[in-house]
C-alpha cells in the first residue's frame, strides 16, 4: 500500500484524531523513497502495521478532591511498538489530553527511541487531569488512582513510563510508591525517579541539555556556534528550564519564556539568577510566568501571546504541540532566525516547517533534538538493571555522545544534493529503518 493510501485509510478508520493523522502524514511523506527501495516491506504491509499502535489501553480514574467531591478523569496508555525493546514513553497530565494527542506522541516516540541507539520501543500515556491549581494531596490521590489501573499493563521488561507535561519528579514519585505497594516489587518501573530511589543523575536536565547539544551540532555544520546568540524559548517547565541553563553555559542569551497564559520578553537576557527564580516559581511555588515581569521590571509580559514575533537569532519551542504556525514561522524567518530546534514534540505545524525549509534555515524536529530525555531514561533503566548509579559526568558524557550520533544519522539520511540538511527526512528515515528491519525479522505478529 502506498503511503498516501495508508493515510487515507487511517483518516477513515480514526476520524476525529487530527494530531495522530498529522504526525503519520508527516513521517510517511518523508520515508516513502526509502520504503520503495524495499519491496519486502510492502509485501509484509509494514507501513500500516507500523502506524497503528499495538495496543490502546483506556480507563476511568476516580479520585476524591479536598472538598470530598468524587472526580472522574480518563486514563490512557498507548503501547505503540515494541520491535526493538520494551515500550517506553512519558505520561502527560493536561486538560487537553485525548486519544489523538497520545497516539501522535506514541507514534513519534517509536521513531525517537529508535534514533537514540538504545533498545526501547515506543509508547505514551496520560490523563485529562490537570495538576494546575490542585493541592499536593489531590495530586497524590490522583496519581495513586491512575496507577491502580496502569500497574497491570507495565513492567521493567514490558513498558516503562516516564514524565511529560504535568508529570515531573513529584508525580513520578507518587506513581512509583503506588506501583510498589500494589506489586510488592521494587523495580525500575518508571524513569525520572528521585535520586534516592533509582533515579539517574542528569535525567531532569537531559531533554533541555540534549536539545542544546543538538543545536550546537546544527550550527557547527555552518561553522557557527552559540556564543552571543539571542534565543527565543517557549515554555517554562522542565524542558525550557534546562534548555535555558545549557544555553547560558554555552554563551547564548535567552530572551523569552512562556506558559499557557502568555510569555515574558527580557531585553537584558535571562541569566543564571533569573533562571533560579523561574525554577523556584514554577517548580516550588507553582506560580505563573507573568510574575517574572513583576520581579524584573525591565521584562515585559505579553498575555495570551507567543514569543515568535520577537527578533532573535535562534528559536527553540519547548512548551507543546502546534505552537508555531505559518505566520509565526514567516515572522521568524523575516526577523533573521538562523536555527530552530524543537524541545517540545511537534511544536511546528507542517506549513511552518515548509517555511523554514524553503528559507534553508537549520530546522530540526523534536524526535531528534529532544531525544536526550528518553535517552537518559534508557540509561536510567540500565543503571536500575545493574543496580548501580553512574556519576553526573558519566551520564552527561553518554548523553552528549548520543546526541552527536543522532545528529550524524540525520546528516547521513537527510543531506540533499544541494547540501542542505533536511533533518526531518534524516530523522524519520534513520528511525524508521531500524524498527522496520526488526519488524521484518520478527514475522507477522
User: Where in the sequence numbering do the catalytic residues fall?
Assistant: 124
Counting Cα atoms < 13 Å in the Cβ hemisphere of 379 gives 26
CB of 286 to ligand NDP, least distance (A): 8
Write out the DSSP string of 226-289.
Answer: STT-EEEE---SHHHHHHHHHHHHTT-EE-EEEETTEEEE-TT---HHHHHHHHIIIIIS---T
Nearer to ligand NDP, 254 or 373 (CB): 373
487530527: which residue's cell?
18
Under DSSP, is residue 335 helix (H, G, I), strand (E, B) or coil?
coil
Cα–Cα distance between 7 and 175 in angstroms, integer?
Answer: 36
Please state the closest distance from residue 224 (CB atom) to ligand NDP, in A. Answer: 25
d(CA 374, CA 46): 25
73 Cβ neighbours under 8 A, 6+ residues apart: 60, 61, 63, 127, 128, 129, 142
Q: State the CB neighbour count (10 A cutoff) for residue 26.
A: 20
Residue 167 or 219 having the CB closest to ligand NDP: 167
CA–CA separation, 409 and 368 (whole Å): 10
Minimum Å gap between C-beta 344 and ligand NDP is 3
Cβ closest to ligand NDP, residue 32 vs residue 261: 261
Angle at 69 between CA 65 and CA 73, to 5 degrees: 70
Alpha-carbon distance of 260 to 143, in angstroms, equals 23
Which is closer to ligand NDP, CB of 130 or CB of 225? Answer: 130
Q: Considering the complex, state which of residue 42 and residue 261 has its C-beta at the smaller distance from ligand NDP.
A: 261
- Closer to ligand NDP at the Cβ: 46 or 88? 88
Shortest distance in whole angstroms from residue 142 CB to ligand NDP: 15
Tell me the residue number closest to ligand NDP, measured at CB.
237
- Whichever of 207 and 409 has its CB closer to ligand NDP, that residue is 207
Question: To the nearest 10°, the Cα dihedral for 429, 379, 168, 403?
Answer: -40
Q: Which helix (H) or strand (E) holds 187?
A: none
Report in angstroms how near the CB of residue 171 gets to ligand NDP at its nearest: 10
168-196 burial: b if 16+ Cβ within 10 Å, else e: bbbbbbbbbebbbeeeeeebbbbbbbeee
- Least separation in angstroms between residue 204's CB and ligand NDP is 8
Closest CA to 115 of 426, 394, 349, 439: 426
Query: Where do contacts with ligand NDP occur on this chain (CB under 6 A)?
Result: 94, 96, 163-166, 168, 207, 235-239, 259-261, 318-320, 343-345, 370, 373
Closer residue to ligand NDP in complex, CB, 85/166 = 166
> Is the Cβ–Cβ distance between 307 and 263 less than 8 Å?
yes
Q: Identify the H or E element spanning 87.
A: strand 87-93
Least Å distance, CB 341 to ligand NDP, is 12
CB of 238 to ligand NDP, least distance (A): 4
What CA–CA distance (Å, rounded) separates 35 from 141? 47
Amino acid at each position: 500500500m502506498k503511503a498516501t493510501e495508508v493515510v487515507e485509510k487511517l483518516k477513515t478508520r480514526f476520524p476525529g484524531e487530527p494530531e495522530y493523522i498529522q504526525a503519520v502524514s508527516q513521517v510517511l511523506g518523508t520515508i516513502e523513497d526509502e520504503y520503495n527501495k524495499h519491496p519486502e516491506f510492502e509485501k509484509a504491509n509494514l507501513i500500516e502495521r507500523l502506524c497503528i499502535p499495538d495496543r490502546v489501553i483506556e480507563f476511568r480514574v476516580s479520585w476524591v478532591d479536598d472538598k470530598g467531591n468524587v472526580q472522574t478523569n480518563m486514563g490512557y496508555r498507548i503501547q505503540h511498538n515494541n520491535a526493538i525493546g520494551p515500550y517506553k514513553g512519558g505520561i502527560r497530565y493536561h486538560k487537553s489530553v485525548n486519544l489523538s494527542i497520545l497516539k501522535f506522541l506514541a507514534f513519534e516516540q517509536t521513531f525517537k527511541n529508535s534514533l537514540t541507539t538504545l533498545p526501547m520501543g515506543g509508547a505514551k500515556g496520560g490523563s485529562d487531569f490537570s495538576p494546575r491549581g490542585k493541592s499536593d494531596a489531590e495530586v497524590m490521590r490522583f496519581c495513586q488512582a491512575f496507577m491502580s489501573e496502569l500497574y497491570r499493563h507495565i513492567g521493567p521488561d514490558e513498558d516503562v513510563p516516564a514524565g511529560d507535561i504535568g508529570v515531573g519528579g513529584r508525580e513520578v514519585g507518587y506513581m512509583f510508591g503506588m506501583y510498589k505497594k500494589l506489586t510488592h516489587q521494587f523495580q525500575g518501573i518508571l524513569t525520572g525517579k528521585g535520586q534516592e530511589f533509582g533515579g539517574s543523575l542528569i535525567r531532569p536536565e537531559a531533554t533541555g541539555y540534549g536539545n542544546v547539544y543538538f543545536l550546537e551540532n546544527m550550527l557547527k555544520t555552518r561553522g557557527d556556534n552559540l556564543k552571543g546568540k539571542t534565543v527565543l524559548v517557549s515554555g517554562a517547565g522542565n524542558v525550557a528550564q534546562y534548555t535555558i541553563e545549557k544555553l547560558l553555559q554555552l554563551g547564548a542569551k535567552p530572551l523569552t519564556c512562556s506558559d499557557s497564559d502568555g510569555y515574558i520578553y527580557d531585553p537584558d537576557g535571562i541569566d543564571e539568577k533569573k533562571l533560579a527564580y523561574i525554577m523556584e516559581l514554577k517548580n516550588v511555588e507553582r506560580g505563573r510566568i507573568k510574575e517574572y515581569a513583576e520581579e524584573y521590571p525591565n521584562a515585559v509580559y505579553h498575555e495570551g501571546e507567543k514569543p515568535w514575533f520577537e527578533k532573535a537569532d535562534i528559536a527553540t519551542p519547548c512548551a507543546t504541540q502546534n505552537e508555531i504556525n505559518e505566520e509565526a514561522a514567516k515572522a521568524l524567518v523575516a526577523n533573521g532566525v538562523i536555527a530552530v530546534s524543537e524541545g517540545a514534540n511537534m511544536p511546528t505545524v507542517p506549513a511552518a516547517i515548509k517555511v523554514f525549509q524553503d528559507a534553508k534555515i537549520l530546522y530540526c524536529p523534536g524526535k531528534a533534538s529532544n531525544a536526550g530525555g528518553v535517552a537518559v531514561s534508557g540509561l536510567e533503566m540500565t543503571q536500575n538493571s545493574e543496580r548501580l548509579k553512574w556519576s553526573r559526568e558519566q551520564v552527561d558524557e553518554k548523553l552528549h555522545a548520543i546526541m552527536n550520533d543522532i545528529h550524524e544519522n540525520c546528516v547521513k539520511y537527510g543531506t540533499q544534493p544541494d547540501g542542505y540538511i533536511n533533518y526531518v527526512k534524516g530523522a524519520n528515515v534513520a528511525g524508521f529503518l531500524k524498527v522496520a528491519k526488526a519488524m521484518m525479522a520478527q514475522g507477522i505478529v
